[in-house]
């Protein structure tokens, strides 16, 4: 016998935005107890760190000096900040010491052509590593971290259980390992960009979600969790080479696996799922908003046609490709006659696979999203997505505190990792570390 509404459903109550921010529940989270050091970088690495923090890891963002103060990482949820000058020998030594007590290091630096050394010690270390690099038995490339004496061969020797995650666009090896790039470049080299875009138009690069965040941040987080799981058996850490090119290509495996199915047999923009079909398209409404249509299967397509007020018997066959352009025009003219709210009312509750295209301002107000508490508010009133997926027994409990200021937790973190107050005072007086205390709101 089914439950009546509200019976036996304590979990959805816990999912409300206000209650999902209780960090007191952190002990019950899946990654509770995992210590992560995230070297401050651009968007993909911060997302990786935020995912781990959302699911319970204690993530320390290692920020650069002298940029102490306002946060630049908009994905700093649940993290703490330590401001450290890695270009100084004392700063590199401090990070090396921190890594002895960490489980994960997230490193976002590509191999640059030239790194300026700031001390004799670094020059000496560079010569030593250059000699090591020529040894064919050693496969570690010479990069920023190696030149600071913080390469994986050093840190893993001191902490064999460390997961050393290297997240870059082109990966640690290959022709482009030292080359600068952005999401659009990684997407292009992966082959995926060639599939994106409308008919008779150039390939279209969407917002930098695919390569940077999905192929980079998410794939790297998955690699870290996989490595942590393997370590539970072997007791050994390892190096993760997370390339955004390879990450987004792997994410898009369906494109390769479906080549022989005929789904992509026509030119870009003329296929079933790339804006070629009139029943898999976005249409403008009379109030300038949009509706998304995904009525692929015949039973869904029939409901879609019915919602439009048309008779399927008077229309060409759904899969008559030659008729698709005219059908698009017909559907577009019909959608343009009503507002988004009116179309939403017509298709709501049906299996026509027609939904409103919601703005970021509206998405948290949608009834379905509200019922699932899919979006949360932090203590500044800012709305963001709830961590996904939802685990039944050890769900993520994201912090609702504001993102940390650069250097806000420097002293607290160093004490936690075994530094004495005297050592911290010396590092501060030498301007190797930075503090930044937020001002109280009076």
* Active site residue ranges: 182, 212
Q: Look at the alpha carbons of 349, 350, 353, 354 in this order and tell me if their dihedral is positive or negative.
A: negative
- The helix/strand/coil state of 128 is helix
CB 193 within 8 A of CB 205: yes
CA distances from 311 to 294, 302, 337 (A): 19, 9, 18
Joined together, the tokens standing for residue 398 give 């994201």
**Cis peptide upstream of residue 125 (ω within 30 degrees of 0):** no
Give ∠ CA 348-351-354 in degrees, rounded to 5: 60
Q: Look at the alpha carbons of 295, 299, 305, 309 in this order and tell me if their dihedral is positive or negative.
A: negative
Cα-flanking dihedrals φ and ψ of residue 56, to 5°?
Answer: 110, -10
Calculate Rg over the CA atoms of the chain.
26
Joined together, the tokens standing for residue 99 give 């890594």
CB 150 within 8 A of CB 96: yes
The DSSP result for 252-269, as a single string, is THHHHHTGGGTTT-SPTT
């Amino acid at each position: 016998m089914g439950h009546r509404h509200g019976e036996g459903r304590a979990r959805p109550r816990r999912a409300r935005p206000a209650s999902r921010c209780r960090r007191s529940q952190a002990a019950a989270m899946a990654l509770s107890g995992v210590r992560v050091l995230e070297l401050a970088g651009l968007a993909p690495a911060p997302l990786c760190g935020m995912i781990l923090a959302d699911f319970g890891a204690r993530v320390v963002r290692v920020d650069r000096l002298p940029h102490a103060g306002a946060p630049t990482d908009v994905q700093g949820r649940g993290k703490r900040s330590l401001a450290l000058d890695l270009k100084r020998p004392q700063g590199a030594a401090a990070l090396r010491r921190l890594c002895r007590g960490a489980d994960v290091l997230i490193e976002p630096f590509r191999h640059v052509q030239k790194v300026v050394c700031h001390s004799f010690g670094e020059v000496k270390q560079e010569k030593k590593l250059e000699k090591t690099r020529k040894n064919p038995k050693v496969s570690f490339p010479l990069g920023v971290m190696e030149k600071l004496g913080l390469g994986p061969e050093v840190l893993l020797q001191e902490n064999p259980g460390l997961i050393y995650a290297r997240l870059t666009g082109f990966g640690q090896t290959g022709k482009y390992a030292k080359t600068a790039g952005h999401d659009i470049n990684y997407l292009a080299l992966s082959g995926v960009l060639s599939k994106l875009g409308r008919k008779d138009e150039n390939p279209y690069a969407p917002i930098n979600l695919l390569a940077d965040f999905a192929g980079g941040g998410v794939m790297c987080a998955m690699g870290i969790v996989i490595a942590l799981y393997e370590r539970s058996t072997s007791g050994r850490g390892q190096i993760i080479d997370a390339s955004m090119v390879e990450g987004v290509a792997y994410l898009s495996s369906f494109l390769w696996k479906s080549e022989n199915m005929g789904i992509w047999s026509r030119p870009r923009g003329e296929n079933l799922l790339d804006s070629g079909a009139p029943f898999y398209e976005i249409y403008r409404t009379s109030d300038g908003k949009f509706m998304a249509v995904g009525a692929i299967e015949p039973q869904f397509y029939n409901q879609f046609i019915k919602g439009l007020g048309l008779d399927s018997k008077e229309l060409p066959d759904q899969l008559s490709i030659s008729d698709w352009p005219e059908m698009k025009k017909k559907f577009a003219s019909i959608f343009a006659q009503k507002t988004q709210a009116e179309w939403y009312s017509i298709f709501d509750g049906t299996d026509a696979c027609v939904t409103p295209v919601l703005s970021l301002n509206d998405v948290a107000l949608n009834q379905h999203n509200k019922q699932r508490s899919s979006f949360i508010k932090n203590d500044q009133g800012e709305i963001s997505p709830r961590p996904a997926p939802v685990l039944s027994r050890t769900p993520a409990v994201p912090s609702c505190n504001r993102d940390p200021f650069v250097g806000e937790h420097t002293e607290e973190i160093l004490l936690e990792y075994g530094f004495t107050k005297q050592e911290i005072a010396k590092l501060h007086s030498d301007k190797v570390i930075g503090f930044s205390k937020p001002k109280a709101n009076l």
